[in-house]
């Protein structure tokens, strides 16, 4: 269902700033309204989905992510948007009423501890009163943590620190309602990227935005799930990319450009050498400190123009 929904999470590596460049690189079949299905196996913040949803009428949409909290939050907004707005209104009021950063930080760490404790108790398949609260805490933590990062420790606990310079809006009620509208009738899955394979055919546009290959040791700040997405994972992903291409689907993939830090690094150029490789410009922090932010190139890889 078309809507004007925008990403409701602050997401490291989000694609909002790249949408204008992407617009010139989407497959011709999409622009001609010949692709009836949309599948995104790493939904994250969903910038590309929300942009395309506002412009195209897909007959079916499948969104997946390995992060169970992300998918649960999408489900709650789809099915119980008024309930999560009520919860977020209360937690935002409690947070902004606190005087001073120390009290706000104490509140943040209390919510973070509750969030991590609940992980073992939540039924991620069902939308319930408890899952509404858990999803609301996910949004609150995302908007008040350092750089909107999602990082897990080895036990699977969310461990990103409080953003002491933060003056967050937490949420936009009107946008959450538009997001809920966009998600009606959308199939939401949680798991490895290959779980969406059977939903893909020759009439499908697939946008793939995996965890980026780190440009250097300090840029690998996000452990998005307990299992790292390493070079072996990237090699498995290109095999899947080829499989989808052989099915006749239109496939587009984003990733980091190793040449930003090593002009001789041909990792992705070799992996995807039989496909169309474009370089787009992005403003990113390439290490965990703000001083590392600047214009860099990112890869956009397509199997058709």
pLDDT (tens digit, 9 = 90+) per residue, 56-78? 999 999 999 999 999 999 999 99
At 142 the pLDDT is 96
Percent of the chain with pLDDT over 70: 93
126 lies in the same domain as 205: no
pLDDT above 60 (res 288)? no
pLDDT in tens, 102-127: 999 999 999 999 999 999 999 999 99
34, part of any domain: yes
User: Using CA of residue 51, residue 53, residue 57, residue 58, what is the dihedral sign?
Assistant: positive
Separation of alpha carbons 122 and 242, rounded Å: 36
184, part of any domain: no
227 lies in the same domain as 276: yes
166 lies in the same domain as 223: no
> What is the CATH classification number for the domain harbouring 117?
1.10.1020.10
CB 39 within 8 A of CB 62: yes
pLDDT above 50 (res 222)? no
237 lies in the same domain as 282: yes
> What is the CATH classification number for the domain harbouring 39?
3.40.50.150
Q: Tell me the residue range of the domain where 56 lies.
A: 16-66+191-302
Q: What is the pTM of this model?
A: 0.93
At 168 the pLDDT is 85
According to DSSP, residue 33 is labeled: T
Least confident of 27-36, 92-101, 240-249, 278-287: 278-287
225 lies in the same domain as 161: no
Average pLDDT over residues 251-277: 95
pLDDT band of residue 283 (cuts 50, 70, 90) is: confident
The stretches of the chain forming alpha helices (DSSP H) are 19-23, 28-31, 47-53, 68-79, 81-96, 101-118, 129-144, 173-183, 231-247, 267-271
195 lies in the same domain as 281: yes
10, part of any domain: no
pLDDT above 70 (res 287)? no
Average pLDDT over residues 261-271: 94
127 lies in the same domain as 149: yes
Of 285, 256, 291, 299, which is closest to residue 149 (Cα–Cα)?
A: 285
- Coil, strand, or helix at residue 188? strand
195 lies in the same domain as 224: yes
5, part of any domain: no
Separation of alpha carbons 7 and 25, rounded Å: 21
Q: How many domains does the chain have?
A: 2
pLDDT in tens, 17-60: 999 999 999 999 999 999 999 999 999 999 999 999 999 999 99
At 226 the pLDDT is 58
């Amino acid at each position: 269902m078309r809507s004007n929904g925008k990403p409701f999470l602050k997401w490291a590596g989000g694609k909002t700033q790249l949408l204008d460049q992407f617009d010139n690189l989407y497959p011709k079949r999409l622009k001609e309204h010949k692709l009836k299905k949309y599948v995104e196996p790493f939904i994250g913040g969903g910038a590309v989905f929300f942009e395309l949803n506002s412009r195209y009428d897909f007959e079916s949409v499948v969104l997946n992510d390995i992060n169970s909290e992300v998918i649960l939050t999408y489900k709650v907004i789809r099915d119980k948007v008024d309930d999560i707005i009520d919860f977020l209104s209360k937690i935002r009021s409690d947070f902004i009423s606190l005087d001073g950063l120390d009290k706000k930080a104490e509140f943040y760490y209390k919510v973070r501890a509750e969030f991590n404790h609940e992980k073992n108790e939540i039924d991620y398949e069902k939308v319930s009163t408890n899952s509404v609260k858990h999803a609301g805490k996910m949004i609150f933590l995302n908007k008040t943590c350092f750089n909107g990062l999602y990082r897990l420790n080895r036990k699977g606990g969310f461990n990103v620190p409080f953003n002491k310079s933060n003056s967050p809006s937490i949420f936009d009620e009107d946008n959450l309602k538009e997001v809920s509208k966009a998600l009606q009738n959308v199939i939401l899955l949680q798991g490895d990227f290959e779980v969406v394979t059977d939903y893909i055919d020759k009439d499908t546009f697939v946008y793939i935005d995996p965890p980026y290959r780190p440009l250097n040791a300090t840029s690998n700040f996000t452990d998005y799930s307990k299992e790292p997405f390493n070079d072996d994972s990237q090699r498995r992903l290109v095999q899947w990319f080829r499989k989808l291409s052989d099915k006749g689907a239109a496939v587009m993939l984003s990733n980091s450009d190793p040449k930003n830090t090593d002009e001789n690094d041909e990792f992705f150029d070799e992996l995807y050498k039989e496909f169309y490789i474009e370089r787009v410009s992005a403003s990113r922090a390439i290490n965990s400190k703000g001083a590392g932010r600047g214009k860099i190139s990112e890869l956009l890889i397509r199997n058709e123009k």
